[in-house]
Amino acid sequence: MTVSASSHTSLRVTRAGIDTYQQPIAYMHRDCEVCRSEGFVAMTRVRIQVGDRFLTATLNVVVNEQIALDEVALSEAAWNILEPDVDARATVRHPAPAASAGALRAKVFGARLDDAQYLTLVEDVVESRLSDLELAAFVSASAGERLDHGETTGLTRAMISVGQRLDWGEGTVLDKHCVGGLPGNRTTPIVVAIIAALGYLIPKTSSRAITSPAGTADTMEVMAPVSLDIPAMRRVVEREGGCIVWGGNVRLSPADDVLIRIQRPLDFDSDGQLVASVLSKKVAAGSTHVLIDMPVGPTAKVRSDSSADSLAARLRHTAEAVGLQLGIYRSDGTQPVGVGIGPALEARDVLKVLNNDADAPADLKERAIALAGALLELAPGSASGTGIQRARAVLHSRQALAKFLAICEAQGGFREPPQAALTADVAAPLEGRITAIDNRRLARIAKLAGAPTSPAAGLETALRVGNTVQHGQPLFTVHAQSRGELAYALEYARINQPFSISTEGA
């Protein structure tokens, strides 16, 4: 009997219909001939080729009859990369060893990597040649201060080189980024609107939440579409001067998107990777002048002045090496900003500020004006000391609101933020004065309530350090879409009170 080589070594491609986020996963039956002959077991890395497209995926082995013996099923991430035709067949093989395996091993044991090694490593990251376990090892080996300034620059250059770069022609292109860790600090939509209203280019790509209850992209998405591709993003910027889009969809720094996926469950950041992440995306977006908002406080991401000094020095060193003009704005990170924490609640604060409502959060408004002013003064030809005045005038005249709505319309249309189905107050356990607020606990409560997965979820509080409260007075209001999530949030809040209240001098 003659057996066709192609029928023996190739498998029918089917869609598993399983969302594995950005991780390509393949599913094969344990008795599949290819699986057995190649010696594949669960969690094996496999190279899948369909036509002229290929990827490296992680194998999950199926032990029942959900998968036929002659097929390979693909997760959504793998399916979208390979884009197989109807009746497509795939060859599945062991991949060649990752070229960066030696460099990765060296980094785990504390070695310093050079630019060429980082480029090889980042290329393997983008091509999915490294497993999540290997990526987690790299993230862990780079945590804290384990990347020096030169390595940070090398990683940044590598991340720039493997992605696309936008070119806006000659002239100034402004941008801003917040280091993070401060709940409710949703200044970006306001700053973009002010800067664009004044005629500057500000093509803002933003991230979704990694460890917080909302990222800028999450908040913007409740008001307008953010999953634009590069041509659509370019049309918005050419029409309105600015945009606020999700960076993961334009994939200007695709390696960073992968590393963020690994960092999310680990729930920690490396200064070196943070700098490489931020600055690679700014260069890729075509920015020339970038302002970094760095909140500093005991429960913010940057907890002390010494940590801020270290991070600022790393940012400046790398920015100079990759040709960016950089400004750093240190801000108060001791307490939250605005009233809402969570995508829709933060969006409501943004709209109140842009609309000059009487109940707009004053701290969010003033912080946004200060940041917009500092960014304006980074631009060549700006008169020193005039930035805040210009920003305030544009906001008060409602030109910023008009520009923001125009940007929303250009991105696909404005929509009102949703409201949660359920709310519950958390009351003060005693009378006294608020002496401290734990930002991390507030963020945790908002996340347990469902944010950012449920856009309307989160919490609201207008209380700040120095305010006095009465026993039984609401400290904050939790918003949730389900009773289970509301109960989780309230139980955590009961045990982990985010407000420190002193009875002395009350």
User: What's the confidence (pLDDT) of residue 505?
Assistant: 62
**Where does residue 171 fall: left (phi above 0), alpha (psi -120 to 50 degrees), or beta otherwise?**
left
User: What's the confidence (pLDDT) of residue 506?
Assistant: 57
Cα separation, 458 vs 481, whole angstroms: 10
Strand locations in 172-235 (E): 174-178, 202-206
CA dihedral 135, 300, 339, 190 (to 10 degrees): -70
**Residue bearing tokens 């210009």:** 390
304: three-class secondary structure by DSSP: coil
Cα separation, 127 vs 254, whole angstroms: 10
> So where are the chain's domains?
5-93, 101-161, 174-250+267-411, 422-502
User: What's the confidence (pLDDT) of residue 211?
Assistant: 77
- Tokens encoding 487: 């109960």
The CATH architecture that domain 5-93 belongs to is Beta Barrel (2.40)
Specify the pTM: 0.87
Question: DSSP code of 477?
Answer: E
Polymer length in residues for the chain = 506
User: What's the confidence (pLDDT) of residue 23?
Assistant: 86
Residues facing 56 on adjacent strands: 47
Cα separation, 496 vs 477, whole angstroms: 15
- For residue 109, count CB atoms less than 10 angstroms from its CB and return exposed for 0-12, middle for 13-18, buried for 19 or more: exposed
Per-10-residue mean pLDDT, the chain, length 506:
53 95 91 92 94 93 94 95 94 92 95 96 90 91 90 96 90 94 94 98 89 92 96 96 89 82 75 92 94 94 93 96 96 96 98 98 98 96 92 98 98 97 97 96 97 97 97 97 97 96 80
- Tokens encoding 191: 């700053």
Q: Give the number of other Cβ atoms within 10 Å of residue 236's Cβ.
A: 23
- For residue 384, count CB atoms less than 10 angstroms from its CB and return exposed for 0-12, middle for 13-18, buried for 19 or more: exposed
Q: What is the Cα 497 distance to its own chain's centre?
A: 27
The catalytic residues are: 269
Q: Which helix (H) or strand (E) is 292 found in, with range?
A: strand 289-296
User: What's the confidence (pLDDT) of residue 8?
Assistant: 57
What does the radius of gyration of the chain's CA atoms come to, in whole angstroms? 25
User: What's the confidence (pLDDT) of residue 251?
Assistant: 75
**Residue bearing tokens 């696909």:** 412
**Residues 200, 206, 210, CA angle at the centre, nearest 5°?**
155
Tell me which residue of 309, 277, 136, 295 sits closest to 206, measured CA to CA. 277
Cα separation, 100 vs 98, whole angstroms: 5
User: What's the confidence (pLDDT) of residue 269?
Assistant: 67
Phi, psi (degrees; rounded to nearest 5) at 116: -65, -40
Q: Spelled out in words, what is the top-level CATH class assigned to the domain 101-161?
A: mainly alpha
Enter the CATH code of domain 174-250+267-411.
3.40.1030.10
User: What is the maximal distance between C-alpha atoms in the chain?
Assistant: 94
Question: DSSP code of 96?
Answer: P
CATH fold of 422-502: Aldehyde Oxidoreductase; domain 3 (3.90.1170)
